[in-house]
Structure 1
Amino acid sequence: MVGVDGSSSALHAARWAATEAARRKVPLSITHACMLIPVQVPPGVELPRPYADALTEQGREILAAALEAAREAAPGVDVTTELRGGAAAEYLIGRSASAELIVLGSRGLGGFTGLLVGSIAVAVATHGHCPVVVVRGTDRPQDAPVVVGVDGSPTSDAALAFAFDAAAARGTRLVAVRAWSDFAVDTAWKFVAALDWESIHSVETRLVDQQLDAYRSRYPDVPVQGVVVRDRPAHTLLELSQDAQLVVVGSRGRGGFRGLLLGSTSQALIHHSASPVAVVPPTRQ
């Protein structure tokens, strides 16, 4: 399912979603939600037609443009459109319980100038029940890698499974990144100078290999590169997003606070990534 609002970002998301639906061999649903906000008309002024009717017509035009963009991107995909009333974020979050994937543009028509990502994208990525892709950046070559952040957490396992599927569907390689320093070393506590960084690096490398081994046999045709770096996860993943066709992260990693629904790394990526970002929640039990 892709949510659209008539913005260029939403049209880009519709094209991306159609191409992804073709890869998955599934139908695509394009949805637009109209929020009917009460409007006061000055006394003596008559509107040429009801405000609700105008919103409905605008919604149909938005859906028609998105439908055209989707069909151009993936002519063989079964595409339907849906016009809904009410809040877009609330509706998409509800639909995410039965959807395979929710796709959104990075910023819609309601955003303020300079706002890096729309409030609806943040809300759905935070509360969605299925993976949510926020489409950012421009198209990458087909051989560009899929990049995934791993840290050994259950959410990280869900992200890794999604990333392997994505790499296999695209016929490209997977880069699994473990960035194991959440602080700037130069300004951190004095004791860090005495740590055995080589030993820590070896331990982290073994942990990444163990996590990848669970998937290598299931995806023998996907070349996998494990990368272990001493850096902040968001910083490393943002750098790698410059050359990736998709970056995949869990909704909340090992370092998140209890009750935090969307981790700091995920938030940084959906705001600043140079490529589309998939935010994957823990596997449903």
Structure 2
Amino acid sequence: MAKPVVVGVDGSPPSLDAVEVAAHEAALCGTGLRLVHAFGRPSVPLPPGCPPWNPAAAGVRELVDGTLAEAEARARRAAPHVEITREVNLGEPLMVLEIESRTASLVVLGCRGLGAFAGLLLGSTAVHLAAHGHCPVLVVRGRPDPAGPVLLAVDGSPAGERAVEFAFAEASVRGADLLALHVWNTWSERAHEGPGDPLTVVVDVERLREEEQRLLDGTLSPWEARYPGVTVERRLVRARVRPALIEASGEAQLVVAGTRGRGGFTGLLLGSTSQALLHHAHCPVAVVRGPEHREHREHREHRGHRGHREGRRE
């Protein structure tokens, strides 16, 4: 069996929504689901003379058992045949989930949380895992269009190749179309169209557009051959990158992006476009790290084989 899908659980409504999405993902790729709850020690020092903090005595076990039981019930309703396991860890959620990502095919998170997760998810937990995790990270947010395509943010960089692979595999197992959107501009995030466009004064814009089209075509062609059952729409847009992708996410069921594209600074592990999508997209966002981390390859290949079989049946 492929590596399991891991979902962070804290009992909040967003985390329970994430449990359902994670269960669905596990069912699609034929793997197990691991429910993970993390709690830390009290942040305030105990008064002198107090006994050491004991989670059992503090009623933590009963609380966690109830939270995980509710999460498991939601998961079983969403995917009755998925094998489900539970994991409870004492530690900061950031560290616990990063460690869990080492043996996971995918980590799924809600957009906000309670307790130890409160104020962290999206503020830092999702961003941290997207930058430092060892597998793709899917953040459940917005109102996805279940009939919409998988939206792939194409940047043409080597670091984005794994995101392309992930997006094709997701579209295949979901039975969805793939919208490959490549947003390009030059010099700045401001895109000028018309006679006042400063770019037209010094360069041949049409030539640049043709080069960007070749980049888009070259990025997609090898994967279209591997996933013949996936219908692909190629869309080339000259605009501001982040607003264009956020707007396009309104028609999608999932957005897939790499961690850093051609315009990113080399020292940054997570680019501004990925962060903007994590915070503002209208549907769930999957962030996939580049080729320097290949731990999720086994899972992607497993999904790919399933996708090929489905494609042949069509």
Q: TM-score, normalised by structure 1?
A: 0.90
1:264 to 263, 272, 293: 272
Which residue number corresponds to residue 150 of structure 1? 154
Matched, 1:11 2:19: no
Alignment check: 8 A CA contact 1:116 1:271 kept: no
Distance 1:43 1:84, change over 3 A: closer
2:82 to 77, 84, 88: 77
Q: Find the aligned partners of 2:49 and 2:161 in 1 and give their Cα distance.
A: 62
Q: Find the aligned partners of 2:60 and 2:240 in 1 and give their Cα distance.
A: 45
Alignment check: 8 A CA contact 1:147 1:175 kept: yes
Unmatched 5+ residue regions in structure 2? 1-5, 295-314
Q: Which stretches of structure 1, 4 residues or longer, exceed 4 Å deviation after superposition?
A: 38-46, 49-52
Query: What's the secondary structure of 1:185's corresponding residue?
Result: coil
2:94 to 84, 89, 94: 89
Which residue identity does 1:202 align to in structure 2? E
1:192 to 194, 199, 216: 199
Structure 1 segment 102-181 matched on structure 2, within 5 A: 102-109=107-114, 110-112=117-119, 117-141=122-146, 143-181=147-185
Which residue identity does 1:273 align to in structure 2? A
Q: Find the aligned partners of 1:125 and 1:84 in 2 and give their Cα distance.
A: 21
For 1:108-166, what per-residue CA distance to the aligned partner results, in whole angstroms no more than 9, with x for missing partners?
Answer: 12445xx982422222112111100001113422x310011111111211100000000
Distance 1:71 1:196, change over 3 A: same
Return 117-126 or 216-225, whichever deviates more. Answer: 117-126
User: RMSD across aligned C-alpha pairs, in angstroms?
Assistant: 2.5
Give the Å deviation of 1:269.
0.3
Q: TM-score, normalised by structure 2?
A: 0.82
Which residue number corresponds to residue 230 of structure 1? 238
Unmatched 5+ residue regions in structure 1? none
Q: Find the aligned partners of 1:200 and 1:24 in 2 and give their Cα distance.
A: 40
Of all paired residues, the percent bearing the same amino acid is 46
Matched, 1:208 2:216: yes
Give the Å deviation of 1:22.
0.3
Return 102-111 or 162-171, whichever deviates more. Answer: 102-111
Query: What's the secondary structure of 1:217's corresponding residue?
Result: helix
Equivalent residues, number = 280
Distance 1:242 1:45, change over 3 A: same
Q: Find the aligned partners of 1:255 and 1:89 in 2 and give their Cα distance.
A: 28
Give the Å deviation of 1:234.
1.5
Query: What's the secondary structure of 2:181's corresponding residue?
Result: strand
Which residue identity does 2:199 align to in structure 1? V
